[in-house]
Structure 1
């Protein structure tokens, strides 16, 4: 209760309108709700969503909403070659829904959602993107501009940044303007249109273009337990602390500053909290965000109506208690009672089998949660975000830090990695993490990371001060230290100080161990760590049909040498397969990974292989690894033939396939053919899964 009162008091202090702010130009969005997980999956309701009915719009309007946002995956319903024709049936479906919403008295934001190639190759995809928007513009040209607004593309990210945004979107905007000269067009910025994207968002010189941003802060609260996030933010994060209130103060000021600088008022295109958050906490979060931003006139589109982060239960045909009232709408329902406090201590994740297995495999004792990237960041000269790629060693995710300028001191910007225990005088500690420099203005082109074990309260006493010089390739760095002081539990952090250079640097998951000077294990003194059963990228994707820790593979081919190695993927085991000369057939050398379980014809399988190339006599220096599911005896019938091009960095290569023949238990294998080139390929854990949702043999 004390926390809630503190937050409410702080909100009241920031809710007063700023008298110095002239009335900025903005869209009259009002209370708004997203029709999420309906038309933005590859096909409607593919993600288990509720199919939109005309009656939904009447229900939404009667609840007091003024606008709906309709996310649409046009990319999956249009031709790949010019003129990129949109499927007429799909276009008619969208037109019908827009008309039904307008008939219910609602404004409509028609959004392009999940146009994937625009994010991976924005300039290369711009012609097709513009061709599709040209057709959308023609289809809706006769609709009133006061009630239908276009949003060009949802949440630019990856290679789609504020630096190329205008160039990539200009052809589409021109195509729209040819038939819709004064229709409002909405544009959001980089990094998934987070609030900080507004600082560098440049809009075209067009009086009918409006900015937007999305608000899911703090992300570790709103997306806790969200399985599509990698790594999954842990459950148990509550909302309502002084830090949460302070964040709202800062974020509201960002909108004030933007409006003062540009004369435009952005609207909040998405906000919400996942259903893994207790209902009372979801209500509290929406109420806090609404009370903070609404006084500025910011329209807010909650995510979402009924399918994800829902406000409405379409099965029970009832609005969820307290949710409408939280955003300022009439609400006859009562807000849910506060849930019981989670059993874990604040800020501390409970032990999991995966963390216990990692702890067991390490020297000393693991004293942090390596799967968590929700570190506290500091410094106004720095932007940070989570990046995900199978190429990132140690878990497939990292934090990217972009320093806009050089700090006066290295500690002017950085991040603090929480430690779950106290630090004890004379105790031995080691921190290990993967890192690389994306770019740096330092004379040698390398990044700088200051590392320090410390107390996260004044006077910030610490030990183990080390400055790392970080190159452009992923490398595992270790910082050992012996404590010269005690640091209490709850105040101990690993400080990463990043303002020593104007740089963009990426830091992967961090392992902190007590009672050891290194996490590296010498092969002659200790057994390598057992492979984890499933990496985060595969968690929840299916049931394992093999044992990833079983390295007793059948090796074949007279031109092949093989040896087990302890790789630098946090000490995990790999097998180095070396082929002296390319074979007449790709299957002339390789390894066979046994499958223990049966496979039925029609089973959907996912194959994942962690691999890297040490050397290869190919034109591009990349290895060739052929993968095949097959019988383990003549005639070796099989399926899922794929040729992987394996680069020099560790990557988890994934293949989806459907079994075209049945394999009885104990009769199948995954063949890894290596005779496609003279090469040395290192192969880590291999995973064969029957995808989730299927019974064995179904």
Structure 2
């Protein structure tokens, strides 16, 4: 707040826990712990109303798992917004569509019933194409992502052969996966990468996706400044399996940020440090390439 930054307090349930997880809390209004979650949202709204109006907002759920056009998610969101409004009449609330807050979830969202909860903002998250942004992600269910490495951005900046060589090198160091599973994962990885390189994604690809959010805003008469790209980012290429550092991640971050700004959308980057961060994981030093890609300046 002292730096004049707007803040979104976003509640993120941990799917790795055995009890307080999204399924038990927000899968439906009949979920075993939905009442407790709803009470939490109401309490948070009451505590946040003391801050300067318009500077702090509350987002009750991070990346709802329901399908894009799910009535179940609509009911969950309405119940949580009702609880928040009971505690604060003026706190901005951040609403989202289903299917993990993707652009397609926002495009399926009907904003008319949500007008009762004004002031509200809207949000979507952006990680397309996942083959680039989630290369090497250990948490993805599909084994193809865990082996990916050295995927270029744009696709024309590299080659299928170079990327597959990095994938093979990464797989060779995997001592936990059986050879049969590695072969199956490699075959699928080769297949999806051929599609990626044939499609030759570039800035046009990002503009097309983010343009869907702008089209949705325009069709409903919603000012683009009320729609926040609440997450975007990409994992670093594992430097052990490439010949030299590459600028692909910075190019991707710059393309996504500039595309959102061209549509008039505010944004928040994911995240400060770890594999997707803008800092070195060990030293906590800012990565100059990320600072530049985000259109920021290093403090002197």
Tell me the TM-score normalised to structure 2 length: 0.70
- Asked if 1 retains the 8 angstrom alpha-carbon contact of 2:102 and 2:126, the reply is yes
What is the deviation of 1:212?
0.6
What is the deviation of 1:103?
4.0
Matched residue SS, 1:312: coil
What is the deviation of 1:172?
1.9
Pairing 1:207–2:114 present: no
Pairing 1:261–2:219 present: yes
Count of matched residue positions in the alignment of Structure 1 and Structure 2:
232
**Mapped partners of 1:332, 1:145: distance in 2:** 28
**Mapped partners of 2:252, 2:299: distance in 1:** 19
Pairing 1:152–2:60 present: yes
Residues 1:243 and 1:183: Cα distance change in structure 2 (over 3 Å): same
Match of 1:192 in 2: 100
**Mapped partners of 2:120, 2:299: distance in 1:** 38
Give 1:278-677 correspondences, 5 Å limit: 280-313=247-280, 315-331=282-298
**Mapped partners of 2:99, 2:221: distance in 1:** 23
**Mapped partners of 2:77, 2:121: distance in 1:** 14
Match of 2:194 in 1: none
Instruction: State the 4+ residue runs in structure 1 displaced beyond 6 angstroms.
Output: none
CA deviations 1:491-522 (Å, max 9, x no partner) are xxxxxxxxxxxxxxxxxxxxxxxxxxxxxxxx
Structure 2: unaligned runs, 5 residues or longer:
14-20, 156-199, 239-244
**Mapped partners of 1:327, 1:120: distance in 2:** 33
What is the deviation of 1:260?
0.9
**Mapped partners of 1:244, 1:118: distance in 2:** 40
- Asked if 2 retains the 8 angstrom alpha-carbon contact of 1:122 and 1:159, the reply is no
**Mapped partners of 1:307, 1:328: distance in 2:** 20
- Asked if 2 retains the 8 angstrom alpha-carbon contact of 1:119 and 1:158, the reply is no
- Asked if 2 retains the 8 angstrom alpha-carbon contact of 1:267 and 1:300, the reply is yes
What is the deviation of 1:153?
0.3
- Asked if 1 retains the 8 angstrom alpha-carbon contact of 2:93 and 2:119, the reply is yes
Match of 2:138 in 1: 227
Matched residue SS, 1:267: strand
Q: Which one of 16, 21, 37 corresponds to residue 129 of structure 1?
A: 37
**Mapped partners of 2:299, 2:73: distance in 1:** 44
What is the deviation of 1:159?
6.5
- Asked if 1 retains the 8 angstrom alpha-carbon contact of 2:94 and 2:120, the reply is yes
CA deviations 1:295-325 (Å, max 9, x no partner) are 2221111110123411023642421121111
Residues 1:326 and 1:254: Cα distance change in structure 2 (over 3 Å): same
RMSD: 2.4
**Mapped partners of 2:67, 2:73: distance in 1:** 10
Residues 1:186 and 1:111: Cα distance change in structure 2 (over 3 Å): same
Higher strand share: 1
What is the deviation of 1:149?
0.4
Q: Which one of 117, 120, 123 corresponds to residue 23 of structure 2?
A: 117
Higher helix share: 2
